[in-house]
């Protein structure tokens, strides 16, 4: 194994006992039931990465009425496309695909070029808006609430995250059922429950987005360091989780 390979981020060691995981599982399912009890038409946008797979497993195995979909940006890793299909087969469910509208993508390419997001922060935001935010907005039209896999530990922009918030940009409720979960909790859950794992996690990717905007990271880097690595550290959001005032 090369020196570089030894330095890459690896799947975290897990330490939670099965009994602790069962408690977490029961609490998570209760949170999901509270959300669906309070709102009709709850939806979940899944990236198929670790935290989101915890939620997919909890939704699929508990029977809560939450619609799962993924955003097809047109620039996903092939491994992500296959992961959706693997997950559908594993749980016997259908996962919706919210595709980026062709006219939005075309407008971005005409204005910035196919890979213009590398040139500036504004161009990156424009690409994310066309390929992620617009299809998310369309997929959430008519929803009563949506849930995410965000955790406080993930990024400096998420340290104040709570279970419930109001999505001002879309005018609906938003829930983060894993907001207080530790990294150990996430990976212990995945291992204990034999949840399908995105193959890029085994290649040094703790966080997974579009193919040109995501890279493997070293073991000593921040977990979000592989996302838009050419931008400032505080710019590690794509716009899906920003309210209108932000």
- The DSSP annotation for 47-103 comes to -SSHHHHHHHHHHHHHT--EEEEEEE-S-B-HHHHHHHHHHHHHHT---EEEEPPHH
Residues 238, 126: Cα–Cα separation, whole Å: 9
Residues 48, 78: Cα–Cα separation, whole Å: 12
Residues 169, 219: Cα–Cα separation, whole Å: 35
Residue 6 has a pLDDT of: 60
Residues 107, 41: Cα–Cα separation, whole Å: 31
Residues 232, 19: Cα–Cα separation, whole Å: 41
Terminal Cα distance for the chain, rounded:
44
Q: Cα angle at 187 between 182 and 190, to 5 degrees?
A: 130
Residue 102 has a pLDDT of: 96
Span 88-106, average pLDDT:
97
Which CATH superfamily includes the segment(s) 15-235? HUPs (3.40.50.620)
From the list 127, 128, 210, 238, the catalytic residue is 238
Domain ranges of the chain: 15-235
Residue 46 has a pLDDT of: 97
Span 176-181, average pLDDT:
96
Question: Which is more confidently placed, 71 or 233?
Answer: 71
Span 157-167, average pLDDT:
85
Per-residue pLDDT of 33-54, as tens digits, reads 999 999 999 999 999 999 999 9
Span 17-33, average pLDDT:
97
Report which DSSP code applies to 166.
E
Per-residue pLDDT of 185-206, as tens digits, reads 999 999 999 999 999 999 999 9
Span 84-103, average pLDDT:
97
Task: For the beta carbon of residue 76, count every other beta carbon within 10 angstroms.
Answer: 22
pTM of the model: 0.90
Q: Is 238 a catalytic residue?
A: yes
Residue 242 has a pLDDT of: 55
- DSSP-derived pairing of the beta strands 96-99 and 172-175: unpaired
Q: What is the percent of the chain with per-residue pLDDT over 90, rounded to a whole number? A: 82
Residue 162 burial (10 A CB sphere; 0-12, 13-18, 19+) = exposed
Per-residue pLDDT of 202-237, as tens digits, reads 999 999 999 999 999 999 998 888 999 888 765 555
């Amino acid at each position: 194994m090369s020196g570089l390979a030894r330095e890459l981020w690896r799947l975290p060691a897990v330490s939670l006992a099965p009994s602790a995981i069962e408690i977490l599982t029961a609490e998570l399912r209760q949170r999901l039931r509270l959300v669906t009890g309070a709102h009709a038409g709850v939806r979940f946008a899944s990236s198929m990465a670790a935290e989101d797979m915890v939620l997919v497993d909890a939704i699929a195995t508990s029977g809560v009425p939450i619609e799962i979909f993924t955003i097809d940006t047109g620039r996903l890793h092939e491994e992500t496309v296959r992961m959706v299909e693997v997950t559908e087969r594993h749980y016997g469910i259908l996962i919706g695909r919210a595709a980026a509208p062709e006219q939005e993508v075309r407008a971005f390419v005409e204005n910035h070029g196919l890979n213009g997001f590398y040139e500036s922060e504004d161009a990156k935001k424009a690409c994310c808006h066309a390929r992620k935010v617009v299809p998310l907005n369309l997929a959430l039209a008519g929803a009563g609430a949506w849930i995410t896999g965000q955790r406080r530990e993930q990024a400096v922009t998420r340290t104040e995250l709570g279970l419930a918030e109001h999505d001002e940009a879309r005018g609906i409720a938003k829930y983060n059922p894993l907001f207080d979960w530790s990294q150990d909790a996430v990976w212990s859950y995945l291992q204990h429950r034999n949840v399908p794992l995105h193959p890029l996690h085994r290649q040094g990717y703790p966080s997974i987005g579009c193919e040109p905007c995501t890279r493997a990271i070293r073991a000593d880097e921040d977990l979000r360091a592989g996302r838009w690595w050419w931008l400032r550290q505080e710019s590690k959001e794509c716009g899906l989780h920003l309210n209108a005032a932000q």
